[in-house]
């Protein structure tokens, strides 16, 4: 089962594509461009449609989704954590 999707191998977050991803779930994340599966254990509940971190990130790091820079980290994020507005902000303003 695919739990999350990344478009590009450089993506640092994946999008949850199934309901009910709870902390402790071993996630199968599909990298579309490479047709490859990678794994990360969810350390928090991840709502469908939301981002899950695929690697540890520090404050100031750039976040990549769909192969595109979507913002910067404003609070440390560990692989498997929920990545959202509480720890990622746009670089636009």
Domain that holds residue 14: 4-90
Distance of CA 35 to the CA centre of its chain: 17
The CATH number covering residue 17 comes to 2.30.130.110
State how far the Cα of 15 lies from the Cα of 9, in Å rounded to an integer. Answer: 13
Query: Is the pLDDT assigned to residue 88 strictly greater than 90?
Result: yes
- The DSSP line for 14-33 is EEE-SS-B-TT-EEEEEEGG
Question: Total structural domains in the chain?
Answer: 1
Beta bridge partners of 72: 62, 89
pLDDT digits (tens, 9 = 90+) for 78-87: 999 999 999 9
pLDDT at 93: 79
Q: Helix or strand or coil: residue 66?
A: coil
pLDDT digits (tens, 9 = 90+) for 5-57: 999 999 999 999 999 999 999 999 999 999 999 999 999 999 999 999 999 99
Beta bridge partners of 36: 31
């Amino acid at each position: 089962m695919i739990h999350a999707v990344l478009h590009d191998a450089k993506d640092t977050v994946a999008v949850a594509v199934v309901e009910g991803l709870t902390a402790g779930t071993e996630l199968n994340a599909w990298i579309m461009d490479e047709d490859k599966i990678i794994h990360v254990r969810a350390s928090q509940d991840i709502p469908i449609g939301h981002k899950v971190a695929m690697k540890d990130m520090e404050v100031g790091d750039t976040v990549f989704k769909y192969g595109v820079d979507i913002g910067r980290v404003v609070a440390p994020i560990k692989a498997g954590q929920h990545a959202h507005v509480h720890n990622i902000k746009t670089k636009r303003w």
